A and B are shown apart, each in its own frame.
Chain A
Amino acid sequence: MRAGERSAVSVVTEALRAMEGAGRDLRAATVILAERALAQAARVDALIAEGRDPGPLAGVPFGVKDLFDVAGLPTTAGAAMLLGAPPAARDAEAVARLEAAGAVLVATLNMDAFAYGFATINAHYGTTRNPHDPDRIAGGSSGGSAAAVAAGIVPLSLGSDTNGSIRVPSALCGIYGLKPTHGCLLMQGVYPFVDSFDDIGPFARSVADLRLAWETLGGSAPPATGQRVARLGGWFAENVSDALAAGIDGVAQHLGGIDTIQLPRVDAARSAAFLMTAAEGGALHLPELRTRPMEYDPAVRDRLIAGAMLPATAYLEAQRFRAWFREQVARIFERYDVLIAPAAGVPAPRIHDPMIPVNGERVPARAHLGLYTQPISFIGLPVVSVPLFRPGELPLGLQLIGRPHGEQALFDLAARLEADGVIGAASPASSLRYAAQA
């Protein structure tokens, strides 16, 4: 673009066309912002024509999960009941930062209503389809953001992650996703869910793009001091498909053999995350639940009401356990810089049967795909979700987990594994792939 080989307007026009086509077919897009996007693209082209710096993301089309404020639009958080809400007065801080760097917002993207789910099964906008197999879910709750990048519609998108909502769809769609250290990227203009765990982060198809997006959003961390890697066993080795187990073995062998370690009481960490999520989510929605409960998506409403009934004593017990668990994990990070774990234990479940096996039982994917992600975000750790390189196969993903503010070690390891061909985003074989950008 800087060399004048392509204009921002032409790139954005292609992305808009793809969003109208594959983006709609995949149920990834919710609102397509053609007029706004073309105006922003024209501004980028004008800067280049004037010989001025258009920014590091000049002309890069991107989409955002439907819970980021976009000036002039109601922020629905994926809920039809908010379609009539007052329009946002200004863009979310993250949107503003990306556009200040030259990127161009082209669409808002589908999600589980109020971000309460791991499947992007949305009663109003439909179920987001996986670009690698449209009969399968994309994961959630940022499913539209993951599907749009995996399909090649846009090279960059934003999502949010409370219990795994970036990491799970990244894994199921075969792309990269970042859940940063809790509280390190600005949440201004983002519809909340659970203040204790909510974070925003980018999706991309390469480590370099992911890192650039993080830096543009304001992410920073000290240089990595080492790359001592271990894999998580115990809870994180259970309920994992044979293919994923073999993939993790392959990564471990590639790294020259690494220790396997166990975190203590991971089951309780996940349970405590569940309880805090229910309590904070229920409290957030209680005023609306009192006045118009029947306007909620039933699957979300009933869980929120149950959460609102949780007594303070239970919430405080979960908080106390969190402090203890955080301390135990901090000791492990005295010996290691990166921990490897599954992001989701199985490939994307089928839309007509969205269940996964856990401990010999079939349980709903919508509530249980966060088996390996919830205990990690529970204590605010940064995670880069990376795809095993499996061209022609359904995607499987790993979490690279770091200590607080340890993002650089995660990016460094991901870049190394990507360069070695161990991980990488494979293009979908599906006919829904947007060929022009794949």
Chain B
Amino acid sequence: MGCVGRTGPWRVELGMVETADRDQAVPGADAVAAHVKQLIGIHLPEACVPGVVAGLEGLAAHLTVLRAAERER
């Protein structure tokens, strides 16, 4: 499988794949699929990878907002 083709603040805690170079954090689809399989036991078809990654990026953004509020209060 090729690379997912997206960049972003990858977070291990969200089950996303940490790479050695965070600035170039573009994991391959096979790496994402392997992580999903290990974490929740779903064999992720390649077609699903971009959508799942987009979903994880959205959740990461929401977690960032939530934690900023927690720090302020």
Contact = CB atoms under 8 A, between A and B. Distances in A.
Main DSSP-derived SS at the A contact region: helix
Interface string A309-321: 1110110011011
Contacts of B15: 309-311
A426 B17 CA distance: 52
Nearest to B63: A314
28 contacts: A265-B72, A265-B73, A267-B69, A271-B66, A275-B59, A275-B63, A278-B55, A286-B40, A286-B42, A290-B40, A299-B51, A302-B50, A302-B52, A302-B54, A303-B51, A305-B48, A307-B59, A308-B42, A309-B15, A309-B56, A310-B14, A310-B15, A311-B15, A314-B14, A314-B63, A317-B66, A317-B70, A318-B66
Contacts of B66: 268, 271-272, 275, 317-318, 321
A3 interface: no
A324 B73 contact: yes
Contacts of A313: 13
Interface in A106-126: none
Interface in A272-298: 272, 274-275, 278, 286, 289-290, 293-294, 298
Q: How large is the interface on A (under 10, 10 to 19, 20 to 34, 35 or more residues)?
A: 20 to 34
Given A278-B55, A305-B36, 14 more contacts: A267-B65, A268-B66, A271-B65, A272-B62, A286-B42, A289-B40, A289-B42, A293-B43, A293-B44, A301-B48, A305-B42, A305-B44, A308-B42, A311-B15
- Main secondary structure on chain B at its contact with chain A? helix
Contacts of A264: 73
Contact of B63 (A271, A298, A301, A320): A271
6 smallest beta-carbon distances between A and B, as pairs: A306-B55, A302-B51, A268-B69, A271-B62, A309-B15, A271-B65
